[in-house]
Structure 1
Amino acid sequence: MSATAFIAREIFTGSEIQTGKAVLVKDGKVQGITEADAIPAGYRKADLGGYLLAPAFLDLQIYGGNGKLFSAEMTTESLEATYEYCLQGGCTQFQITLATNSIEKFIRGLEVAREYRNGGGKGLLGVHLEGPYINPVKKGAHIEKFIKKPEESEIRQLLQKGKDIFRMMTLAPEQCDRTCVELLLNSGIILSAGHSNATYEQAIDGFYQGIPAATHLFNAMSPLQGRQPGMVGAIYDNNDVRCSVVCDGVHVDFASIRISKKIMGDRLFFITDAVAEVAYGEYVHVFKGDRYTLPDGTLSGSSLTMLQCVRNGVEKCGIPLPEALRMASLYPATVLGQQAQWGSIQPGARADLVLLDEELNLLQVIVDGER
């Protein structure tokens, strides 16, 4: 691979915006940042014009894209279509997500995801299983007949079949005994509390046990009330727990996101929770202009891209641009424990970058240092 120096008017490193600099990239990795007039010999100059260069985005929860829903069409082509959809919103890394379903379906999804990655498929961080160990009271758009309490043998089967590709699971802590939670955590699965009707005490207990994250703040979780702080109160109150939010003004009011951001700071991050319109399979999604619903009208997914999350964060929630960019890149990378690889422009990081204009339109995506 060639060595390239990417020159932009402004470079957002993940911590600050620098001007008059160039990002040095070699073999798909960032080597460092230098003055634009002091680029070392051996680097090809690529002047990107007068715009903002920033780390590309990561989406830890997406179901499909470009007309393909992974659960309805479990093929490598479906994952490829989702990756292409992600790129349109400046996202180069994604976790394909499966909603509550049969264990057989989950295992098949894990196998196809591995096949995609082993076949050179790009961008797939792993599989996020949203369910089936959730609370039927907070099922949202999930299918109740597949919701269940966890069994150790079943978890071991998922872990064995999902080796190296099963990365994250959303579960309701009040539905899961400590042994099952420990088994998942000790196996390296990132657990996220969600689709939960937990009391404040139950939620805090799950977080103290080691659950590091929570899924789509406010959606399908016990609310914050004066006498019952619920899951939302527990998330606010625990300074270590990170939580995703769907920033479209439909899943959550923008004012609620603004308030939550003030309380949570760097613990709040964006996901799209995006689906695709599909008329067959267990999950039928109908496009309604700015959202997707089940045929009965139940909200079932967003039509967001990660860039739209950033734009909404800035324009609708008053979040400063550097912080909104971190909510789409550095913070999700931190949930995965991969902040050295993704979400910042620093030596050793992967050279996945986005070029944005003043209106936060996407001009270019750079993947592994290649335009």
Structure 2
Amino acid sequence: MKEYTVAILGATGAVGTQMIQCLEEQEFPVGRLKLLASARSAGKTMTFRGEELVIEEATPEAFAGCDIVLGAADDAVAKRLLPTAVEAGAVVVDNSHAFRMDPEVPLVIPEINASDVAWHHGIIANPNCATIIALVPTWPLHQLAGVRRMIVSTYQAASGAGAPGMAELEQQIEALGRGEAIPEPRAFAAQLVSNLIPQIGGFDDEGYTSEEMKLQNEGRKIMHLPELAVCCTCVRVPVLRSHSESVTLEFRRPISVEEARAALAAAPGVRLVDDRTAESAHDRYPMPIDTSDQDLIWVGRVRRDISNPDTASGITFWCCGDQIRKGAATNAVQIAKLLTE
């Protein structure tokens, strides 16, 4: 089997660190791994397959000899450095928002549109975490009945703001437990512990946030549905890891609850957890406490949309998935594996 020289840009962040673990778990054919980060991290070490690797400063020259680059840096760094990785001969799989809506860049969820990888021009974009978690279970239902409209509410964990967001929530929990004043928030717009924040990203003229519009814009591109209608509300919740979403779908053709459950149970990347009679809540429906640190999207609470005038054309479900893994690092590594096949 051919081995590849792989680089991770932003290797010390929450997603970059997870990418290292995913490369190990998926037995990716890495011949050499280069860990790239800011100048302040250069010289430190991280472990891959039992070996200590020295972190290098992320510069244009650092991509020399790389076959694949996994991007886990912010938009500004991605725009500045990743085109130079392509110029150096690498194929880039980028987790930032920088290239997602570029018509020359495929936006890929392997369970849905793996074939789009074939038309890349050096960069392949990894979708937004909430988009991935919603669309993996939506896709098999779309294949059955043709989705035309989505109404979604997301309940997004602190992990969506990376390592700083997770650290901030943990600090607030500790302060609350000690009866101390909650530290001034930095990663979020307001205190997150004992609270919900109904804003992720900036507002547009219609009052929707940038995070909310990603599901419509990215969903249309990934599923090749330019007319897909989406109404989304994104909320940050005091959960450390794993996003949850309430999804209502309207279809072009009738679909029964039984058909929907069967399709979800058989779908790649999905685990159906939907037993209202189960003794334990953990077996009745998905929860973030159960779906953290694994790669499947768990789906439950599957039922008819009784608000739809055509009650045979609407399905509602609840789903949870690990934002750092399938919502980011795992999906990126899965895309990279497509490049090796």
Could you say whether these structures have the same fold, taking a TM-score greater than 0.5 normalized by the shorter chain as the test? Answer: no
Per the normalisation by structure 1, the TM-score is 0.24
Q: Which has the higher helix share?
A: 2
